[in-house]
Amino acid sequence: MTTAPLPRLALAALLAGGALVAIFVALLLRFRVELRADIHEKIIGRDATVLFPVALQQLVESETTPGKSPATLLSSVLRSAQQQGMLAVAIFDRDGDTLENVPAGLLFVELPVDDYIQLLEKKPISRYHPDFPLRQTFAGVSPGPPTAPVLEVLLPLHGRDPNQLVGFARYYLDARPLATELAAIDERINRQTNTTLALGTGLIAGVIALAAVGLHRAQRTIAERNERLARTHFELTLAAKASALGQIASHLIHGLQGPVAGLRAVVASRGTEGENTEDWQSAAGYTERLQKMIGETVALLSDAGANAHYEFTGDELAAIIRDRNAACARERGVLLHVGGGFSSTLDSHRGGLLCLIAANLVQNAVAASAAGQPVAVQLTRSAALVVLQVSDEGGGISETVRAHLFEPGRSGREGGTGLGLAISRLLARQIDAELAVIRTGPEGTVFRLTVPLPA
């Protein structure tokens, strides 16, 4: 059986898993960046959302006193901001010019053009500076760290009429609590990202591993089915060739009947007189066996051709197997034991093919056995099966031959063709029987033929 090398499958699975993990990590990190930016934006804009209505309420309250100028109104916002303890506040008129700032040493209080344009659209601005340069912005700062987290908030200011801008305000707030909050949020996001990354990577690895195992199993199944298909094709081809060979053999056997009968008569007559009488008698025995085998084969072919049906008992089948193979075992000095049998009957078609298969199995067992060793044949029947078992105590079948045991051209005997077992399996399939090796090894070999009976 041929399957794809496991390292190649593992490499493909590894590459696929690496690609999926890379995509997953990229999407997760992008989502993390977007989520962090969105949360930071909302947290940073929170103070502007709180300050904006407070400043507008202060302006509205200041407008209740008649005769106040816009600059005076804006100064009320400045004084209120001072009371809230902010780092610095600067107010600008509606043209963006600086009116007043606290503390007085605040540097670079001009309103940038871009901020001025955005404020004209009545949109508050919030900026978080994690490392705000204190000494470059505030004059006379006491010794300490040169930078600190600062939140900058710019607000468009108007009175009762929302369409009439009065001016603008810029607040600098101590953002150390905000920095702590943002750091805690970032830590939580990082922790959740890492957890999701670990779980997702593990899940992808598990899915890829299961997919690789499934792919390997699928390839193995496909390879096994391809091998079975190739074997079936080979056996069909072999059956077709065997059918043609059978027709030729049938014609040849019919033609041999007469010559073999004449040869037997000549050999038999020479065996009763003259020199080398024992040799001629031995030759007469061979020709007698040959004529008997031809006669049995012709009878089987005649029965099949004429659709003749008759019955064999199990005892008769056992006797036929014993008689046909006794001479072969005797020549090799092997002890042939045929046991079992049964009183019920088996049709002639199945019985005839069973005897042919048994003859080949017994001859193989005899050839594999040494003189004095036994060859046992057991014939039994159950309600639905007839079982023929042939066992020997020879040296067993080698691994090389065992892998191709029922294929022609593969034989464990010197000079063997391997046709016997291949033809025996084809004959077994003619009656839906199964021929298999039950065991083989140094202690011997056991073949079993299982013949199903008609319902």
- Band of pLDDT at residue 104, cut at 50, 70 and 90: confident
Average the pLDDT over 23-51 and give the result.
90
Q: Does residue 299 fall inside a structural domain?
A: no
Q: Does residue 217 fall inside a structural domain?
A: no
Among left, alpha and beta (phi > 0; psi -120 to 50; other), residue 276 is: left
Return the beta strands (E) in 178-334 as ranges: 311-313
d(CA 389, CA 407): 21
Q: Does residue 72 fall inside a structural domain?
A: yes
Burial class of residue 196 in the structure, from the number of CB atoms within 10 Å of its CB (0-12 exposed, 13-18 middle, 19+ buried): middle
The β-bridge relationship of strands 374-381 and 385-392 is antiparallel
d(CA 241, CA 328): 29
In contact, 375 and 335? CB cutoff 8 Å? yes
Predicted local distance difference test score (pLDDT) of residue 289:
59
Q: Residue 247: is its pLDDT beyond 70?
A: no
pTM of the model: 0.47
Q: Which of 157, 174, 191 is the last residue of a domain?
A: 174
Q: What is the pLDDT of residues 216-234, one digit of tens each?
A: 888 888 988 988 888 777 7
Q: What is the pLDDT of residues 413-422, one digit of tens each?
A: 665 556 678 8
In contact, 318 and 339? CB cutoff 8 Å? yes
CATH code of residue 150: 3.30.450.20
How is residue 410 written in tokens? Answer: 């593969």
Rg, the chain, Cα only: 53
Q: Residue 387: is its pLDDT beyond 80?
A: yes
Q: Does residue 291 fall inside a structural domain?
A: no
Predicted local distance difference test score (pLDDT) of residue 130:
92
d(CA 296, CA 352): 9
φ, ψ of residue 441 in degrees (nearest 5): 170, -170
Q: Residue 156: is its pLDDT beyond 50?
A: yes
Q: What is the pLDDT of residues 1-28, one digit of tens each?
A: 444 455 676 677 778 888 888 898 999 9
d(CA 239, CA 53): 99
Predicted local distance difference test score (pLDDT) of residue 254:
53
Q: Which of 147, 174, 201 is the last residue of a domain?
A: 174
How is residue 289 written in tokens? Answer: 């066996």
Q: Which of 143, 174, 205 is the last residue of a domain?
A: 174
Q: What is the pLDDT of residues 265-281, one digit of tens each?
A: 666 666 555 556 666 66
Average the pLDDT over 337-361 and give the result.
87
φ, ψ of residue 408 in degrees (nearest 5): -65, 150
Predicted local distance difference test score (pLDDT) of residue 127:
92
Predicted local distance difference test score (pLDDT) of residue 4:
45
Q: Does residue 114 fall inside a structural domain?
A: yes
Predicted local distance difference test score (pLDDT) of residue 1:
45
* 144 or 5, higher pLDDT: 144
Predicted local distance difference test score (pLDDT) of residue 437:
93
Domain hosting residue 167, numbered range: 45-174
Q: Does residue 422 fall inside a structural domain?
A: yes
d(CA 100, CA 109): 9
CATH code of residue 376: 3.30.565.10
Least confident of 166-170, 298-302, 344-348, 379-383: 298-302
Across 110-143, b (16+ Cβ under 10 Å) vs e yields ebeeebbeebeeeebbbebeeebebeebbeeeee
Looking at the chain, the whole-number percentage of residues with pLDDT higher than 70 is: 73
Average the pLDDT over 278-297 and give the result.
62
- Band of pLDDT at residue 89, cut at 50, 70 and 90: confident
- Diameter of the chain by CA atoms? 166
How many domains does one find in the chain?
A: 2
- Beta-carbon neighbour count of residue 8 at 10 Å? 9
Least confident of 13-17, 54-58, 136-140, 154-158: 136-140
Which CA distances in Å does 276 have to 133, 149, 261, 288? 131, 127, 22, 18
Average the pLDDT over 294-317 and give the result.
67
Q: Does residue 16 fall inside a structural domain?
A: no
In contact, 452 and 385? CB cutoff 8 Å? yes
Paired residues of 263 in beta bridges:
none
Average the pLDDT over 380-394 and give the result.
92
Q: Does residue 188 fall inside a structural domain?
A: no
In contact, 340 and 318? CB cutoff 8 Å? yes
In contact, 253 and 298? CB cutoff 8 Å? yes
Which CA distances in Å does 239 have to 160, 235, 245, 360, 421? 107, 6, 9, 18, 13
